[in-house]
Amino acid sequence: MNKTVKIGLISSVVALFSLTAGSPALAHDELISTSPSADSTVQAGVIPITLHFSEAPMDLGFGKGNLIAVADAETGEQFGAACAHISGSDLSVPVDLAKPGRYKVIYRVASDDGHIASGDIYFNVENTTNYQTENPGTVCVSDDGIVVRQIDQEPVSTKQSRISALEGLFIGIGFIIVGSIVSAVLIRRRQNSGTKQYD
């Protein structure tokens, strides 16, 4: 690449960046801080999840557009519906959890230009108080008493098959062993019948 082309390319890239950086269309809600904070460990119980954004989300109605869902970090199984209360620049929802483990908070936030941004954070639950709950998951009831049910929504997170890489490896080895035995038996039989034929 010659020098003129190189300089031309660099200036175009710089020009493009300076154009887009100031564009208000790209000013979307950014996640600033969370509670529980990412990768922290909290006690089992009714845990308030609060996500603080750079600007106030656009209110699209309870259980629509602005969503917080909680799922098992390992299996992806979602606990309860996805919903969020809006307060200033915060989205929040209480989540009732008893089972110790790692959880994933998945969010969707609507900017005032209507674009939806999404992301996730993880936190851990420990249970040293023997806390128990009948209905683990988010408590999706609006201030007006509107209840959002999980079965009425598209899932935000779905449960994955629990076959781990190690289990997959053992299954693979199992197939190879069974396959080798079967072919060994078949070869032996063919050889035997061959011997009989030419005896």
Shortest separation between residue 111's beta carbon and Cu ion, angstroms: 5
Tokens of 91: 């989205």
The footprint of Cu ion on residues 52-91 (CB under 5 A) is: none
167 is a site residue for Cu ion (CB under 5 A): no
Shortest separation between residue 23's beta carbon and Cu ion, angstroms: 10
Find how far residue 69's CA is from the centre of its chain.
9
- Strand 41-43 and strand 67-72: the pairing is unpaired
Q: Closer to Cu ion at the Cβ: 99 or 115?
A: 115
The footprint of Cu ion on residues 102-141 (CB under 5 A) is: 113, 115
The residue to which tokens 């781990």 are assigned: 164
Count of residues that bind Cu ion according to CB under 5 A: 2
Query: Alpha-carbon dihedral of residues 147, 123, 51, 134, nearest 10 degrees?
Result: 20
Q: Closer to Cu ion at the Cβ: 49 or 109?
A: 109
Find how far residue 100's CA is from the centre of its chain.
18
- Kindly state the DSSP code that residue 62 receives in the 8-state scheme: T
Q: Closer to Cu ion at the Cβ: 59 or 113?
A: 113
Which residue number places its CB atom closest to Cu ion?
A: 115
Q: Closer to Cu ion at the Cβ: 116 or 139?
A: 116
- Strand 85-87 and strand 90-97: the pairing is antiparallel
Q: Give the residues lining the site for Cu ion (CB under 5 A).
A: 113, 115
